[in-house]
Every structure is written in structure tokens, then in C-alpha cells.
Amino acid sequence: MTEEPKPKLLVVELWGLGDLVIATPFLQAAVRKYAVTVLAKPFARDLQARFWPEVEVAPFIAPWTAFLRKYRLLTWPWGEIFGLRRLAAKRFDIGLSARWGDPRDHLLLWGLRVKKRLGFPRLQSQIFLTDPQLRPPAISHRYEYWRVLGGALGIELPPQQKIPVPPLHGGQLLVHSGAGQPVRVWPLEHYRNLVNRLRQLGHSVRIACDPDQRDFWREAAEPDIIAPRTVTELLALMDQSAVFIGNDSGPAHLAALCGVPTFTLFGPQVPEWFAPLHPTGEWLEGKPCPYKPCSDYCRFPVACCMTNLPEEEVWSRLEGFLKRNRIEP
């Protein structure tokens, strides 16, 4: 007796690495009931290989996800955009987006002729959805949006603090000084002093950074600096690490997914929305600013929320974090 084919589910998550990592528990659970395709940036293939091999990846870089000059329509890759019509031929039974109030996602689901379309409407975007969902309370973590969508499809996801994490294998402290945007970066001089203090206590510390930060660390006489360029390279680092120390960034979320406890410094974003999903992870919020959250479009020459965060305050919280996670030199 042949088994009935699973309904076809299209998941739209076109933004950053952290966003796709937050979607991972949903994707891992959804494949039990659905034939899942995720429309995402090409780095999704690196996550697919390790975390959700049964999910099909449709790679696409949406021009509206650029940080600057996102609506210069003449520069958009129209050939690739029209090429998405190939997905319509798959005749998806269900499609969804967990991004609150993004009419672009909702229009895309409608344009791909997905039969049942779920999302969180805003600006009248419910006209593109067949099953608009009520958003969680405003202060909820982004993961809660995936839980709501899961519930609508009969997929039960664990609460945020009960998401299972894999066991640790590494023993080094990983300090990652980079982030997707400069306003999220705690000053590099502070990171250098933090690393020195950790090493003076006898900790083994590995430093990773963004490519444009490499010169700073070389001038600081850091002998073994690494600037990962792919998710696969980041995963290799996580497998060697006992904790992750760094900014609000995609690598922080990836560390949590790999089972590495995270100590995250937040600047312009709201930690309650985007904290990495590790049950023992901790975060420290940057200093107050009347414009937070500013979605990284800072109104000041430097991001005061990060630059005004003193070393001693970070060190005090970090010491407690290491003790609570039983990280000894």
C-alpha cells in the first residue's frame, strides 16, 4: 500500500542568518507532516545540510532585504524575481511567513499561487492571505510567531526555554566581535581588553571577527584571528567552543543552535525579541536611547547604546555567566 504524499509547504524567510536559525525548530518539526521548501538566502543550504536535510532550499536574495538603497527598482534582479514563477509550478498547498506585517512576503505567497496562505497582516496585507493570524503580544520573541503558525498547522513547538540543544564538544571561549551592521558592534578596544582579562585568568580564547575588523586584531598582535566567510566555517568554530561571547548577530544565534551558551551584547535591538535560543544564554542590553529600537538606522555618528556600555559592567555580568555555566580556566 503506497503512502499518501505529504502536503507541500512553502516557508518564506528571506532575511538574515539569525532569522533563519530562529525558524529552525519549526522547520525540523514541520518535515514530519509536510514536504517543506524554504525560500531563503543561499546560506540556507549550509544550515540544511546539518539541521534540516529533508527540507528543500529555494535560494533567493530578495533586493528589498538590502540595508541601503533597497528600492532602486532599476537595479533589482528582475530575471531572478520572475524566475520565482518556477515555484508556482509546484502547486504548494500551504505557504507562510512568520515576519510580522511584511506585505512583500504576503504578496509573494499570493503571486506564487499558494492555495492556503498564513501570515501576520499589516497595512491591509490580509487581502493576500487566506488565513491571517493574530500576532503574539508585542514584546514576544520572534520564535513565538513560529509557534503560532505551528499551532495553526497542527505542529507543536516547545516553549522558548525548553527548546532542546545538542551537547557541547568544544572547550574554548569564542569571542566574535562582528555583527551585521556597525551599530551593533561593541567597541573593538573593549573586546581586546576583555580577551586579555580572560586569558590572564587562564581561559583559552579564540577570536573571530568580520573581515573589515581583521586589521585591528592583527595590530593588537592577535596571532590566530579568523574571519569566517561562510556558515560552514562558522559551524566549525562553534563545534570547538564552550561559550560564545559577542554582539547581537547571526553567529550568536548559530552558536545557540549548536548548543553553545551565548553571552550577547545588544545595542539598537530589543533582546526580548531576538535573544539567541539557548536555555542558559544571557544578554546585556546597551544603554538607553530615545530611538530604540531603530532597526540599525542610527541617528547619531556613533551608536551610543553600544559605545556607552562600560567594560566593567560587561565584565561583571560575564564573570557570573561563566560561573553559572561552569566554565573554568
Selection from 6, 31, 12 nearest residue 93 by Cα: 6
Residue 137 is given by DSSP the state P
pLDDT tens digits for range 219-252: 998 888 999 999 999 999 999 999 999 999 999 9
Q: Is the pLDDT of residue 189 over 80?
A: yes
Residue 40 is given by DSSP the state E
Q: Which cell numbers in the block locate residue 194? A: 576583555
Helices (H) and strands (E) in the chain, counts: 13, 11
Q: Is 68 exposed, middle or buried (0-12, 13-18, 19+ CB in 10 A)?
A: exposed
Give 279's Cβ-side CA count (13 Å radius). 9
Asked if 8-162 and 172-324 have one fold, the answer is: yes
pLDDT tens digits for range 271-298: 999 999 999 999 999 898 888 888 888 8
Which ranges in the chain belong to alpha helices (H)? 17-30, 44-51, 78-83, 85-88, 103-111, 142-152, 188-200, 214-219, 231-238, 250-257, 271-274, 304-307, 311-324
Selection from 287, 279, 275, 281 nearest residue 313 by Cα: 287
Residue 67: the pLDDT is 66
57 in Cβ contact with 40 (< 8 Å): yes
CATH class belonging to 8-162 = alpha beta
- Per residue, the 3-state secondary structure of 267-278, as one string, reads CCCCHHHHCCCC
Give the type of residue at 50.
R
47 in Cβ contact with 24 (< 8 Å): yes
pLDDT tens digits for range 92-141: 999 999 998 788 899 999 999 999 999 998 888 888 899 999 999 988 99
CA angle 62, 248, 18 (to 5 degrees): 40
Confidence of residue 262 (pLDDT cuts 50, 70, 90): very high
Residue 224: the pLDDT is 85
Residue 1: the pLDDT is 54
pLDDT tens digits for range 29-53: 999 999 999 999 999 999 999 999 9
**Under 8 Å CB-to-CB from 92, ≥6 apart: which residues?**
8, 9, 10, 37, 112, 114, 115
Q: Which cell numbers in the block locate residue 272? A: 526580548
Residue 258: the pLDDT is 95
What CATH number belongs to 172-324?
3.40.50.2000
Which residue do the cell numbers 509573494 mark?
A: 108
Q: Reduced to 3 states, what is the DSSP secondary structure of residue 89?
A: coil
Cα→Cα distances 252→138, 149, 243, 288, 299, Å: 23, 24, 10, 22, 25
Question: What's the length of the chain?
Answer: 329
The residue ranges of every structural domain in the chain are 8-162, 172-324
Query: What pairing do the DSSP bridges indicate for beta strands 205-208 and 172-176?
Result: parallel
Give the torsion through C-alpha atoms of 120, 124, 125, 127, to 10 deg.
110
